[in-house]
Homo-oligomer: A and B are copies of this chain.
Amino acid sequence: MSAIEFRDHDHAACMRSTMQAAEAQCAARGLRLTPVRRRALEILLSEHRALGAYDLLAHLSAEGLGAQPPVAYRALDFLVKAGLAHKIEALNAYVGCVHPGEDHAPAFLICRNCRSVAEAETSPTKSRLGDAARAAGFRIERSVVEAEGLCPACQETDA
């Protein structure tokens, strides 16, 4: 993986290409990227940071796209199910996916200071946990892999 999220990069281009990939995905799979969903994804992607559902809702409602919690949660459900966003369980927060489409088991590096999030890949079945699961007769359906700590930028200021 690359963890490009912690590095300087052309974020406008990054967002553009991610949004294009998301649209392509939706078109290919017959999913409807409606205005609310589209805007929600843009907001999530606008920084590589985790946003709470109510933070997202605040953005949306400021733009007249709905004012009640279900608006945000429905958009998030759609995006997560479509693989266009991920939930960060350790924060009860959400982040846009930077490589939508590829069916993946994501792993995250989460800065506890600035909430920035970098996405990596795992393969749950190949890990030691996968071995343990096989030994126990457990069938893994979904995996959550999250590491909390300090991103490069915050190590300088905070540590």
Docked Cα-Cα span, A138 to B152, in Å, equals 6
Q: A141: which B residues are within 8 A, CB to CB? A: 112, 148-150
| CB <8 Å contact, B144 and A89 | yes
Integer count of this chain's copies in the complex: 2
Interface residues of A in 93-122 (CB under 8 A from B): 107, 109, 111-112, 118, 120-122
Q: Does A145 contact B (CB under 8 A)?
A: yes
Q: Does A6 contact B (CB under 8 A)?
A: yes
| CB <8 Å contact, A136 and B89 | no
Q: Does A146 contact B (CB under 8 A)?
A: yes
Q: A132: which B residues are within 8 A, CB to CB? A: 1, 3, 107, 109, 118, 120
Q: Does A14 contact B (CB under 8 A)?
A: no
Q: A136-B152, A138-B151, A147-B133 are in contact. Are A120 and B109 (CB under 8 A)?
A: no
| CB <8 Å contact, B112 and A146 | no
A141 to chain B: closest residue by CB: B149
